[in-house]
Structure 1
Amino acid sequence: MLHTAGMNRRHLMLGAGVLAASYAVASAAKTDDSPALEPIDLSGVSILITGCSSGFGRLGAEHYARLGAKVFATMRNLPRPEATELETLAARENLDISVLEIDITKQHQVTAGVAAALDATGGTLDVLINNAGMALSGPIEAQDMIATHLLFDTNVYGAQRMIRAALPAMRTQGHGLIFNVTSQLGRVIIPGIGQYSPTKFALEALSEQLAYEVASHGIEVTIIQPGGYPTEIWAKQVDPSKALKSRLSDDVLQAYPRMTAGMGTQNNGGGNTDPMDIPRAIAKTIAQPAGSRPLRIALHPVARPQEAINTVSAQVQRAMLEDSPYGPAVKSVLD
């Protein structure tokens, strides 16, 4: 079981990431988070992950279970082939993976799914990984309210639903760890990526505020900021982006020709980078001593433009709040 030590000071660790414009030239280099270099044992740790049908969620579910964790891998629209495949793999390798149905845009599924996980563990949950998310393309003017609501409902409100469902148990047990997967595009901006950056900026702010607020309960929050990685988010944005484009007026299409021309098509998003960088970094963070976990980890082997923003942000937060009544919480999170 994962235990935390309340308000210990922590080292601010900065990871790696890359601009969307650099995705195509990203190398396949690994990070230093390889389990081969530092064996990790997650035995007894219960982990609930959203968005496990593919990408970081699916890779993570397997990785944490192979390190000994009890994993609740959630995905929407069950039954589906991805769920059957994961359950078959778990049975073959004797991994403790339970597949649960959670569509994070549906409150009743969030409530029922988290309750099922808590029932299976006797009422405790050590780690929540808010991984599920989606993208759409196009300029901001092209993002009608259908698209805007869909992006915020998935990338922001979905994480909030999961957080609110998990926190009561974490507060009762006096420990817990929440990972929110944002993006390097939650700190830096590339034009033409629709509401993706706005939602990830929002999740960054939500996560940092939450970290200060729950520190006194022994609960820690870590923000994962991936750069470009070749996951299925790029393929899954094709249909909703195509549907959005079909709703646009000729006036909007012609006003932003470079940004609307590719809507509904798939780019190479991520190059040759290794998506396992993210599960490795998360596993390493889970295994760190209580109070030493970083607020933000930027991940990518090539460039990390958001690191400068992370550093300045931490400095400003300390300067603004360290002598206020919030000082102890801010210091425990940022130091």
Structure 2
Amino acid sequence: MNILITGASSGFGKLIVAELLKAGHQVAGTVRDPKGRNAEAADLLRDLGAEIVDIDVTNDASVEAGVAAASDRLGGIDVLINNAGVGVYGLQENFSAADFQRVFDINVFGPQRLTRAVLPQMRERGEGLILNITSVLGRITLPFYGPYNATKWALEAVSENYRAELSQFGVDVAIIEPGGFPTEFHGNLILPTSTDRNEGYGEMADAPVAARQQMNEFLAANPQQNPSLVAEAVVSVVDAAPGTRPFRTEVDTVGMGDLVKPMNDLAATSTQALFTNFGMADMLKLNVTPKKAA
């Protein structure tokens, strides 16, 4: 299949690209500034066999141009993987409205821009897959990740709605929910632009730094939490036959995924019941022989 993935230069992205190529897919990966600061990462991906497109997920024109370029090089886009994202760390009160907007622009509005750009061709063909990388923290929360939690919860809701609204056009929607993994993601966190509220928190003001150190130590002590597991899960969902893909896939080996799975199972049961009560149950079933959109 022809696959476009955002955030391909590091973290899960570069691992996913490698696994997809190994599985025989054609892949275009988005890399910001591929001739400048990310030239080395872009070259590595090209050496693996990927196409490189420069897309700023926070810019409408960049997304439209980049998707058009990727579609032209690949001969169309069968799968979009919304992987690009950014994390945060700090007391939530210290994050300004502008800080929240920045995180939402990347983690929520970015996937919406990309999805809107690829959907017309998918609906026209009557098939396709939108795969959103969210997080177990899109289902539960931990302190000091406030804006990040909010964006991942929002992306889960965006995915829920697209799943229902696109199913009859043959366009599938799925979610991968990773736990915490040791990747470059943790070195590129957005911190609050201000710490002027710290004084009112007393000793609690030091808690974010201590908790972050504890998380780093926890991940170092659990090498089985290998980021390659996320890439393998993505390939498994992509390669599954339309109509058989799980909507949500938890990827975690240290207990968080085990806590989230029952919540996901209950959500699936409740959603099925709600849609059935409103006479919309068919919207939860992918039409594998759809009519092309008019």
Q: Please indicate, yes or no, whether the TM-score normalized by the shorter chain is above 0.5.
A: yes
CA–CA separation in structure 1 for the residues paired with 2:130 and 2:209: 38
TM-score by structure 1 length? 0.78
Aligned to 1:312: 266
* SS at structure 2 position matched to 1:48: strand
Pairing 1:61-80 to 2, within 5 Å after superposition: 61-80=17-36
2:199–2:205 Cα contact (<8 Å) kept: no
Conserved 8 A contact 1:231-1:270? no
Structure 1 residue 264 displacement after superposition = 9.5
The alignment status of 1:125 with 2:81, answered yes or no, reads no
Counterpart of 2:205 in structure 1 is 257
CA RMSD of aligned residues (A): 2.3
- Is contact 2:96–2:193 with CA below 8 Å preserved after alignment? no
- Matches of 1:328 and 1:89, distance apart in 2: 40
Higher helix share: 2
1:108 is the counterpart of 2:61: yes
Partner of 1:158 in structure 2?
110
- Pair 1:176-2:128 in alignment: yes
For residues 1-335 of structure 1, what are the structure 2 equivalents within 5 Å? 45-80=1-36, 82-88=38-44, 90-91=46-47, 95=49, 97-122=50-75, 124-237=76-189, 240-241=190-191, 244=192, 246-252=194-200, 254=202, 256-261=204-209, 268=216, 270-271=219-220, 272=223, 273-303=225-255, 304=257, 305-332=259-286
State the AA in 1 paired with 2:164: Y
Higher RCO (CA-CA < 8 Å; seq separation 6+)? 1
Contact 1:234 1:266 in 2 (8 A): no
CA distance in structure 1 between the aligned counterparts of 2:28 and 2:17, rounded to whole angstroms: 8
Q: Name stretches of at least 5 consecutive residues in structure 2 with no aligned partner.
A: 288-294
Query: Runs of 5+ in structure 1 lacking a partner?
Result: 1-44
Deviates more, 1:71-80 or 1:165-174: 71-80
Whether the aligned pair in 1 keeps the contact of 2:171 and 2:286 (CA below 8 Å) is no
- Number of equivalent positions: 281
Whether contact under 8 Å (2:33, 2:39) holds in the other structure is: no
Q: Structure 2 length as normaliser, TM-score?
A: 0.88
> Shift of residue 128 of structure 1?
0.4
Q: Deviations over 1:229-261 (max 9, x none)?
A: 111111001xx31xx254534545548424455
In 1, distance between residues paired with 2:153 and 2:45?
36
Secondary structure of 2:53's counterpart equals: strand
The one-letter amino acid of 2:82's match is: N
| Greater than 3 Å deviation, 4+ residue runs | 80-86, 88-91, 249-256, 258-267
- Percent identical among aligned pairs is 35
Distance across 2 between alignment mates of 1:231 and 1:281: 16
1:302 alignment partner, SS class: coil
- What secondary structure does 1:125 align onto? coil
Q: Aligned AA for 1:307?
A: K
Query: Cα gap change, 1:146/1:248 in structure 2, threshold over 3 Å: closer, same or farther?
Result: farther
Matched letter for residue 319 of structure 1: A
Q: 1:265 to 1:228 in 2, by over 3 A?
A: closer
| Distance across 2 between alignment mates of 1:324 and 1:110 | 36
After superposition, what is the alpha-carbon deviation per residue over 1:285-312, rounded to whole angstroms, capped at 9, x for unaligned? 1111110001000001232211011011
